[in-house]
Amino acid sequence: MAGHEQELERGGQTIYPTNFDYYRPSTVQEAIELLGKDRNAKVLAGGHSLLPAMKLRVASPAALVDIGRIKSLAGIKADGKTVTIGALTTHATVVASNVVKSQCPILAETAAMIGDVQVRNRGTIGGSLAHADPAADYPTTIIALGATITATGAKGSRDIPADEFFTGLLTTALKPAELITAISVPAYGAMKGMGGGDEEEEEEGEGDAVGSAAAWMATELAERDDPFPDVLPAVEYALSDQERVDSDSL
C-alpha cells in the first residue's frame, strides 16, 4: 500500500511527507522480513515521534512497517524478580498497571509524566526507547533501573543492557531489521520513599523521577542481603552524572 505525496506550503516549508510504502504485518517474523527488504524502512508504533518528523521531511523513510496489530508485543507480566513489558505497551497502560505500580513504581511515575493524555494513550514504551531522544522521560530512568531491552531480528532475539542500548543522539544499538520486542526491569517492590518527586512537583510536571529513582535505589538496594548487582553500577553512574549536571548549573 503506497502513501500519496501531498504538499502544503506554509511559510515556504513543505509539511507533508514524500511517497512511501505502508505495510501492516500481523506477526513479529513478518515485520522483520519486511524490514529486511528495505534498509530505509522504519517501524511505526505509536507514531508520535516519527509522523511529525515525516510531515516536516526531517525523516523520509521509503516504507513504514506498522506493528500496531501484533498483539504479542503488548502486555505486562512479572515473575517475582523481573517485570517484563511488551514493546507496544502504551504509556497509559504502564501508568495504570497494578503490576508496575507495585513492583517497579518509579517506572509508572515516569510514564505518568509523559506528554498529555492523548500522547500517553497512543505512545508506546518501545517506540519511545527506539527513538532515543535524550530529552524523553524513559531513557535515563531505564538506565538507572539497570533494565534490559530485548531486540529481535532475523537471527533471533538478544538482550541489550540499557546502558549499552543508547549510543548517541537519536541512535541506538539496534541492528538493521531489528525491532524492540520487550523491556525488562527489576521488580524491586514498593520501597519506602521510592517515587518521582513530591506531590507539588508532580502536579506541575517537574518531578525529578530520575534523581529520586537513583538515590533511593542506591540506598535501599545496597542495604539488602541480595541486592540487584547489575542495577547498582547504573545507579552510581546516574547519580554521579546528576551531581555533575547540578554543579555545572550553579
Q: What pLDDT is stored for residue 2 in this prediction? A: 52
H-type helices in 137-189, by residue range? 138-144, 162-165
Calpha distance 116→203 (Å, rounded): 13
Of the three residues 66, 87, 106, the one that is the final residue of a domain is 66
Q: What is the pTM of this model?
A: 0.76
Of 46, 60, 61, 20, residue with least CA distance to 180: 46
Please give the torsion angle defined by the CA atoms of residues 114, 118, 121 and 123, in that order, rounded to the nearest 10 degrees: -60
Calpha distance 189→162 (Å, rounded): 20
Q: What pLDDT is stored for residue 56 in this prediction? A: 82
Q: What pLDDT is stored for residue 165 in this prediction? A: 97
Q: Tens of pLDDT along 14-35?
A: 566 688 999 999 999 999 999 9
Could you tell me if 101 and 209 lie in one domain?
yes
How many domains are contained in the chain? 2
Q: What pLDDT is stored for residue 248 in this prediction? A: 41
Domain encompassing residue 61: 2-66
Could you tell me if 61 and 78 lie in one domain?
no
Could you tell me if 30 and 56 lie in one domain?
yes
SS3 76: strand
Name the stretches of the chain with pLDDT < 50: 4-8, 10, 196-206, 226-229, 242-250
Q: What pLDDT is stored for residue 53 in this prediction? A: 86
Q: What pLDDT is stored for residue 111 in this prediction? A: 95
The DSSP bridge pattern shows strands 76-78 and 82-86 to be antiparallel
Q: What pLDDT is stored for residue 227 in this prediction? A: 47
Check which CATH number belongs to the domain holding 62 and give it.
3.30.43.10
Of the three residues 26, 50, 66, the one that is the final residue of a domain is 66
Cβ 159 vs Cβ 121: under 8 Å:
no
